[in-house]
Chain A
Amino acid sequence: MKRIRTAPLALLLAALTMSGQQPPAKPPLWSLRPVVRPEVPANDANPIDALIARKHQQKGLRVAGRADKATLLRRLHLDLTGLPPTPAALDQFLNDSSPNAYAKVVDKLLADPQHGVRYARHWLDVLGYADVDEGMLAESGIYHWRDWVIKSLNRDLPYNQFVRAHIAGDLSPRADDFFATGFLTRAAHSPADGAEDIAFNAVEKVSTAFMAMSTGCAKCHDHMYDPILQRDYYAMKALFDPLLPEKKNLATADEILRHEEVLERWRAQQNVIQARMDVLTKPYEKQIFEERMTFLPKDVEAVFRKDPKLRTVAEQEIVTRYNTVVAPDARKFRDVMKPHETVLYEWTRKGQTELRRDAPTLPVFWTVRADASRAAQKNNIYLGGDRTKKGDEVQPGFPFAPKDLKFEGDRRQVFLNWLTAGDNPLFARVAVNRLWQWHFGEGIAGSPSDFGRTGQMPTNPELLDWLASEFVARGYSMKAMHRLIVTSEAYQRTGVVTKELQAANAAADANNRHLWKFPARRLEAEAIRDSVLAVSGKLDTAIGGMSFRGSDINERRVMSATRTGYYDTRDTRRGIYMGRGSDASMNMMPAFLTTFDAEDGHAPCARRERSITAPQVLYLLNGELTQVASRDLAERLFLEAGPGAAAKVDYGYKLVLGRAPSATERDAALSYLGKAEPAQLTGFAWMLLNLSEFVFLP
C-alpha cells in the first residue's frame, strides 16, 4: 500500500501550518462534484475504449495491438480467478474460432466459484480482514465474514447491498448478511466494548473503504485539507455509538444438547489431573510455607499462622497482600522436589495447560446489535480524541450530509440511504475505481482510498464518471462491470511492444497511465502460491472454512488458550485461507505473505505494494515451497506428458505458462534435460517455477 506517496505535498502543507500561515484557498474537491456521464459514440464499440481513445488522441499516443490468444487466456484466468489456465482450457480456447470465444471464457470464469475467492481477497484488503488482531473479540468465527464475501461476490450481490450488509447486516432480511458485520465487530476487544472501538473504527473504515475519504484526523481536530470537521467525525460516530458486539451461537441443536455432556467429561478430566497434581505438591507445601514465613515481618507471620476462620477482615486483607510472596510457585516446587518428581510435575503441569486450552466451546460468530440504552445516550465530541474529555454534544450525521436529516429507526439506515444513492458522487466512483485497479494494476485515480485533497487526481475523469454512472445503471452488478472492463480493447492489448512504439509514446506517457499497452505486473502473494500449488497438482480448491496456519507461524502461541480450534490443517487450500494478522507479542504473518507484500489487515490496504526484490527471488530459488512443488511438478510431467524429453518440455510450458515454448526455449530446456531422468526433470520443474513469466500477469 502506498501510504506515503502524498508526503511531499503533505510536508509542504505541514510546514505552512507550522509557520502559522494558512494553506492557500482550496478549489472544490473533484470527487464531491456530481458524476457527469460523458457522451459516448452510439455504436457497438465499448465506451471504455472510446473514452480512452480520446485521451490517446489528445496526447498523441499510439496503441499496441491485441495480445495473442494464449496470453489473453492466461491474463483472464489469473485476473478473474487467481489461477492459471489448465492445459484443457487452453486447448479449448485455442480451438474455438467462433467470434465469441473470448466472451465465452469471460462468462465461464465469472461463473467459476474461484472468481469469488480471487476478488474477495481484493475486498478483504480494503476492508481490513484479519484472523488475529491484538486480542480481537471476534477472532473465533471471523472467517465466516471472509466466506460471506466470497459467496456474495459469487452470487453477484449488488454492490449497494454488499455495502449495506457490511454496515448494517444485522438488520438485513437476508439470513446470512449478519456475517458481513464482522467488518464492524472485528474492532472490538470486549463484549461491552468500553473503548468504543466499534464506533471509532467504523467511522474510519467505512469512510475510507466506501467514500475514499480519510476521516481519521478529524477525530482530534478539523481535517487540515478536506472539508471534514471534527463535528462531522463525531456525528458519524454517533451512527455507530449504539452498537455492541453480539454473540451468535452457530451450533446445531444437537451440538448444544451434547455440549453439557462434553463439558462434564472435560471437567472430570480436569479433576483427575488436579488430583495427580495434589499428590505431587502437597508433601512440599508445608515446607515451602515455613520457608516463606521467615521472609515476613513477625506480625504478618502471626496473621498467616492464625486459623483462617478466625481472621478479621483487616487480617484477611494482609493475607491477600502478602500472598503473592507466600504462595508456592512452579519454580519453587521444581527446586525442592526430587528429580523424578520434577519430571512428573512438569508433565502434569503441561497436561493441565493443554486441557485448559482444549476447553470445549461451541461455534460462535460475533455480530453487532444496536443497544437501546446506548442509543438513548447523548453523543459528544471528544476533545483531542480523548474519551475522558467530553466536548459539545453532536447529533447523528456524517461528512457532506444534506441538511435537515431525520434520524428515525436505526441511524445507520439514514446514512446508508444517502451513501448508496445513485447520485452520491463518491459511492460508485470509489467502487469502480477499485474494480479498475484490480484489472489494470492502478486505479484511474491512483489513491483508491483517498479521493481527498492529499490523494491523486483521476487520469481520465470522464472514463471514471462513465463507469460510475454505468455501474448505477446496471444495478451495481460487479460482475457486469468486470465483464465490461475485460471485454474492452484496452484490456486485450498486448503488453509486449516494439522499441519504436515505446519511444513514440515515451514523452507523453512513459508510465502507461493511459493504457496504450497492457500493464504487465507481478502477481500478488496469494496468486503466486496458488499457481505454484495448482501447476504442481496439489491445490485444494475447497471453498470456505477456518484458516490454516502458515508453516512458519509459532504453533505454541497460536494454539494457546483461546485459540484452539480456530485453525484448520488443510494447508494446501488457496492463499486466502492462510491465517494472517497481528499480535503484540508474536508475529502472525507467514513469511511468504510478507515477502510478497501481503499486509496483516490491522489497517486497511487500498493497494498492494508490488515490490520486486532479491529476497523474493531467493524465496522461490531456495525456499521450501518451490522445493516440494518442483518434485510434485516433475512427477506430473513424468506421468502426464508423453514419452521423450521434448514432450515433457512442451507439456511443462503448457501447464505452467499456458503456452508452447519457443524453439530456443525448447532447445535450452532439452539440452538441460538430457534423457529426462527424475533429477533433471525436477530441475526443469524448478526452473519453470522460477521463471519471471510465471509470477507475472501477462
Chain B
Amino acid sequence: MTFSNSLSAAGRRAFLRRMSFGVTGAALGTLWAEDEKILRAGAGPHFPAKVKSVIFLFMCGGVSAMDTFDPKDNKWAGKMLDTINGNNGKPQLRPVLHNPRVFKPYGKSGTPVCEWFPHIGGVIDDIAMVRSMYCHDAGHFQACWEMSTGKRNRVFDHPALGAWTGYALGSANRNLPTFVNMGKPSSPAQLTGGYLGGQEGATPFEAGETPLANLKLPVGTTRAERDRQMETLARLNREFHEQHVFDAEVASRVRSYELAGTLQTAGPELVDFSKEPEHVREMYGVDEPETDEFGRQMLLARRLAERGVRFIQVCHGGAGGGNGKWDSHDDVADHAPLARQTDKPIAGLIRDLKQRGMLDSTMVVWATEFGRTPYSQNNLGRDHNPHGFTCWLAGGGVKGGIVHGATDEIGHKVAEKPQYVTDLQATVLHQMGLDYKRMSVIVNGRPFHLIEEGTGPIRAILG
C-alpha cells in the first residue's frame, strides 16, 4: 500500500473533512447545512458550466518547452546568453545548447510536436497549446506554489486551484472527494486547502489495489473474522449511540461507520479495472512496462471523472520531496523516458474521453511549474526558466489544434501574448462556470481573492 508515504497526510485530512461535509452535514442539522448553502451560494457557479471535471496533469520538475512542444531552430546554438535572473537571480553567461530534437507536424492543424510524443501528436487537433506561459519564481517549490495557488509563497496560506473549485461548486458525489490527487507531488502546495480549510485540500488516491488509506484489512485478519467483529462491535456501540441519539457528533460517527463500510466496498470497485475492455486498457498503455503506472492513473482519472469528481490532479515525476523527475539539469535527454511513460496514457485518456462523449465536459490540462532555459547548465542540461514555457489544454470547450502565444526565437522569454499562470487557472474556472473576479473570501477579517494578477481567462483558446 502506498498510502504510508509522507504526502498522504494532507490529503487524508482533506478527505475526512470533505466527508464530514458530505456525510455529517445532514447529521449536524441546520447549522452546517445552512452554512454550506450560504457559502456556496456566495461563490458560484456564476454562469452555466461547460466543464464537469478537470483532469490536471502536473509534470513535476519543469518540462523543457523547446524539447517538447515549442520548437526552435539552432540559430543561437553555442552563443553565450546573459542569464541574469535566469538562475535564481544570479547573473551568469552561459552557452545556448544545440537542440537535437526532431519535430514533425501532426494532424490537420500541422502543429509540430517532438518525436518523444507521437501519441499526443495523434490527438493534436484536440489540443490548444499555450506557448507563452510565465511565472515569477525559479525555485521548484516556490513555482509549485505559484502554479497551484496562483500566489507566491505561503504568506497567506492560499489554497490550490482544485480546492477553490470544490469550495465553490461543492460535491457531485457524496461518497467521493471533490479534489483528488494521484502520484507524488513535488510540494504539499499542490494539495493544499489553505485558508479554505483542510476539507478542501486534495485527497490522495492511488490506482493500486487500495485507492485510499486504511481501506484494507490488516494482515492476519480475515473478512469472515472482521464481519463477526463488526457485528459484535455494532452491538457494543448500540447503547452509547442510542443514549447520545441527540448529539450531532455521535450521530455523525454512526454515519461515518456506514460510510467506512461503503468505502470498503466502493473503493476496490473504483480501482477494479477488470471490467474495462482490453482495447481500452491498451489505449492507456496499461500492462505495458513503461506506461503501466501512469496509464492506470489516467484510467482511474477517467473513472473518477465519470463519478463526478471535480478536480483530478495527477502528478508525474514528483518525488514527494526533491525536485521532480523532469528537472533535467544534467541532460535534457533525461526527458525521453518520462515522455514515454506519459505520452501514450495521456493520448489514451483524450481518445477515451472523446469516444465516450466526455471530452466536451472534461478538461484536460497539461502543466508544469516552469520551463527550462535555452542555455546549458551542466553540460547538456538546462536550468529552470520561469520566463516562458508551454502548457496545453484539451477538451472542456477549448479549441483544438491551435497554438496561442509565442516565446522569443531563442526560447528564453515570452514574446507574444504573455499569460501568467493564473490565466490558466482563470480559464479552468471560467469553463467550470466560475468568474474568478467574484471568487473572494474573508479570512480573519481580511478579504482574499483567488486571482490578483494576470489577464483572466485565455479567451482566444476557448470555443
Contacts and interface: CB of A to CB of B under 8 A. Distances in A.
Contact of B95 (A8, A325, A452): A325
B263 A618 contact: yes
Interface in A212-237: 214, 216-217, 223-226
B447 A224 contact: yes
A664 B239 contact: yes
Interface stretch (A55-63, A424-432, A526-534, A603-611): A603-611
Given A10-B441, A584-B142, A615-B16, A692 B232 contact: no
A692 B241 contact: yes
Interface stretch (A99-107, A277-285, A369-377, A494-502): A494-502
A622 B442 contact: no
A314 interface: no
Nearest to A626: B218
Contacts of A46: none
B429 interface: no
Given A216-B444, A224-B445, A609-B197, A696 B31 contact: no
A584 B188 contact: yes
A586 interface: yes
A536 to B, nearest CB: 16
Contacts of B225: 683
A554 B6 contact: yes
B288 interface: no
Interface stretch (A90-98, A149-157, A590-598): A590-598
Interface stretch (A457-465, A637-645, A665-673): A665-673
Given A329-B378, A497-B246, A609 B198 contact: yes
A329 B447 CA distance: 48
Nearest to A325: B376
A358 B253 CA distance: 47
Interface in B243-261: 243-244, 246-247, 249-250, 252-257, 259-260
Interface in B50-105: 78, 80, 92-95
Nearest to A216: B446
Contacts of B379: 292, 295, 325, 329, 332
Given A321-B93, A586-B320, A591 B29 contact: no
Given A224-B447, A585-B321, A591-B8, A325 B94 contact: yes
B233 A691 contact: yes
Given A223-B445, A325-B95, A325-B376, A134 B154 contact: yes
A550 to B, nearest CB: 8
A668 B236 contact: yes
A324 B6 CA distance: 34
B249 A522 contact: yes
Nearest to A555: B6
A614 B239 contact: no
Interface in B324-342: 330-331
Interface string A200-216: 00000000100000101
B249 A612 contact: yes
Interface stretch (B18-26, B119-127, B268-276, B384-392): B18-26
A587 B7 contact: yes
A324 B377 contact: yes
Interface in B194-247: 195-199, 212-218, 225, 228-229, 232-233, 235-241, 243-244, 246-247
B446 A687 contact: no
A552 interface: yes
B1 to A, nearest CB: 10
B215 A618 contact: yes
Interface stretch (B34-42, B296-304, B348-356): B34-42
Contacts of B144: 584
Nearest to B144: A584
A5 B199 CA distance: 14
Contacts of A692: 237, 240-241, 250, 253-254
A11 B442 contact: yes
A133 B59 CA distance: 26
Interface in B430-452: 440-447
A450 interface: yes
Given A609-B197, A612-B249, A691-B240, A669 B232 contact: yes
Contact of A586 (B239, B321, B446): B321
Contacts of B140: 585
Nearest to A620: B214
Contacts of B195: 3-4, 603
A589 B15 CA distance: 15
Interface residues of B, number: 98
Contacts of B216: 622
Q: Which of A14, A619, A695 has the most CB of B within 10 A?
A: A14
Contacts of A11: 42, 440-442
A556 B322 CA distance: 11
B236 to A, nearest CB: 6
Interface in A246-294: 292
A614 B141 contact: no
B378 A325 contact: yes
Contacts of A382: none
Nearest to B443: A3
B17 interface: yes
Nearest to A288: B379
Contact of A672 (B24, B93, B228, B250): B228
A624 to B, nearest CB: 8
A454 B232 contact: no
A591 B444 contact: no
B300 to A, nearest CB: 19
B445 A226 contact: yes
Interface string A311-355: 000000000011011000101100000000000000000000000
Contacts of A477: none
B449 to A, nearest CB: 9
Contacts of A696: 240, 244, 249-250
A691 B241 CA distance: 10
Nearest to A6: B442
B187 interface: yes
Nearest to A503: B246
A617 interface: yes
B330 A329 contact: yes
Nearest to A690: B233
A71 to B, nearest CB: 10
Nearest to B267: A618
Contacts of A224: 445, 447
A587 B9 contact: yes
B286 interface: no
B214 A612 contact: no
Contact of B6 (A217, A587, A668, A669): A587
Given A214-B445, A696-B250, A616 B256 contact: yes
Contacts of B244: 495-496, 520, 696
Contacts of B254: 692
Nearest to B199: A611
A617 B19 CA distance: 12
What 6 A-B pairs are tightest by C-beta distance, nearest first?
Answer: A10-B442, A594-B13, A613-B16, A612-B252, A584-B141, A614-B259
Interface of A: 1, 3-8, 10-11, 13-14, 134, 208, 214, 216-217, 223-226, 292, 295-297, 321-322, 324-325, 329, 331-332, 449-450, 452-454, 495-497, 499, 502, 510-511, 519-522, 552-554, 556-557, 582-587, 589-591, 593-595, 597, 602-603, 609-619, 621-624, 627, 662, 664-665, 668-669, 671-672, 683, 686-687, 690-693, 695-696
29 contacts: A4-B195, A4-B196, A5-B35, A6-B442, A7-B38, A14-B440, A216-B445, A216-B446, A331-B331, A454-B444, A454-B445, A499-B246, A584-B188, A585-B141, A585-B186, A591-B3, A591-B4, A591-B12, A593-B9, A594-B12, A613-B24, A613-B259, A615-B19, A615-B260, A618-B213, A618-B260, A622-B218, A672-B229, A692-B237
Given A3-B443, A224-B445, 13 more contacts: A3-B196, A8-B35, A223-B445, A295-B379, A321-B94, A325-B377, A511-B31, A552-B6, A586-B320, A587-B8, A589-B13, A615-B214, A668-B232
